[in-house]
Amino acid sequence: MLLRIALIVAILAGVGALALNKTKVKQKIVGLTEELSSTKTTLEATQKSEREAKNEAKKANVDLKKTRDDLAGTQKNLEAVTTKANDQEKLAKDKSVKLDDVTKQYNDAQRELAQWQALTIRPDQVEALKVEAKNLTSERDAFAAEKVVLLRNNSKLDTELRRYKGDTAEIVMEGVKGKVIAVDSKWEFVILDIGINQGAKQDGKLLVARNGKLIGKVRLTTVEPTRSIANIIPEMKQGDVMEGDVVFY
């Protein structure tokens, strides 16, 4: 009997424990369900925020691209305007220089006109004076050419006369100075950039130097108005004569 009672008590205790555990499990399930619902709500809110953030980011990228395009266009326009401004500035400077030049020419012309007016000379007289000046210039050039010919002939005649007389005195060429412009080392002669117009004389002798050092001496064999040919004097040679060497009396 006692065993049966004990068994019944044990069964009742088990049923009570089972009922208690079921209640706890139910409460836990309710709690988990509520937590799941809250988590789901939070997840939906998060996903909505994420979608809104993506949309805003996409819009921001579009706005950024538009801003970059606008900036590039503005930069291009700025470069074009700057180039045009530089061109305009250069053109203005050129115009200013030309204006200054024209103004100077105008002032010079006005000054010259004032001078002519002060001389009280008529235009026809000016033309006559210009013709006369041209004729005088031609005559002067002709005389200068004749002078060169006469000097050349006189030099030749003087040389021939000296040869006939057997005169071996040194020919004076005071102040004559020039340069060697060509050298023929095989035949030992040089070409000088001086002639009758500079005072060179046939058979005259000139010293040759380079950087202040004496190189040798040459004798003029052919003398023209603006250049001469001279032979290198062997016994006076102290080095090779070169183009650019100085010759002087």
From first to last of its 249 residues, what are the pLDDT tens digits of the chain?
Answer: 666 666 666 676 665 666 556 677 677 777 777 777 777 788 788 888 788 878 887 887 888 888 888 778 778 877 877 787 777 778 777 777 877 887 788 777 777 777 666 656 666 666 776 777 777 777 676 666 666 566 556 666 666 666 666 555 678 899 999 999 999 988 999 999 999 999 999 889 999 999 999 999 999 999 999 999 999 999 999 999 999 999 999
In a domain, residue 132? The reply is no
In a domain, residue 11? The reply is yes
Q: Which of 109, 121, 204, 215 lies closest to 156 in space, CA to CA?
A: 204
In a domain, residue 143? The reply is no
In a domain, residue 150? The reply is no
| Residue 220: predicted pLDDT | 94
Neighbouring residues of 220: CB distance < 8 A, sequence distance ≥ 6: 192, 200, 201, 202, 203, 204, 205, 206, 228, 229, 230
Count of structural domains, the chain: 2
One domain, residues 113 and 227:
no
One domain, residues 105 and 181:
no
In a domain, residue 61? The reply is yes
Q: Which residues pair with 190 in a beta bridge?
A: 183, 230
Question: What is the DSSP code string of 68-100?
Answer: HHHHHHHHHHHHHHHHHHHHHHHHHHHHHHHHH
This prediction's pTM: 0.38
Distance between start and end Cα atoms, the chain: 169
In a domain, residue 141? The reply is no
| Residue 55: predicted pLDDT | 83
| Residue 143: predicted pLDDT | 62
End position of a domain, from candidates 119, 154, 188? 119
One domain, residues 113 and 181:
no
Residue-number span of the structural domain to which 111 is assigned = 1-119
| Residue 246: predicted pLDDT | 97
Q: Which of 210, 198, 205, 197 lies closest to 168 in space, CA to CA?
A: 205
Q: Which of 211, 181, 213 lies closest to 195 in space, CA to CA?
A: 181
Alpha-carbon radius of gyration of the chain: 58
In a domain, residue 53? The reply is yes
| Residue 86: predicted pLDDT | 78
d(CA 50, CA 8) in angstroms, rounded, equals 61
In a domain, residue 163? The reply is no
Q: 190 φ, ψ to 5°? A: -130, 160
| Residue 178: predicted pLDDT | 96
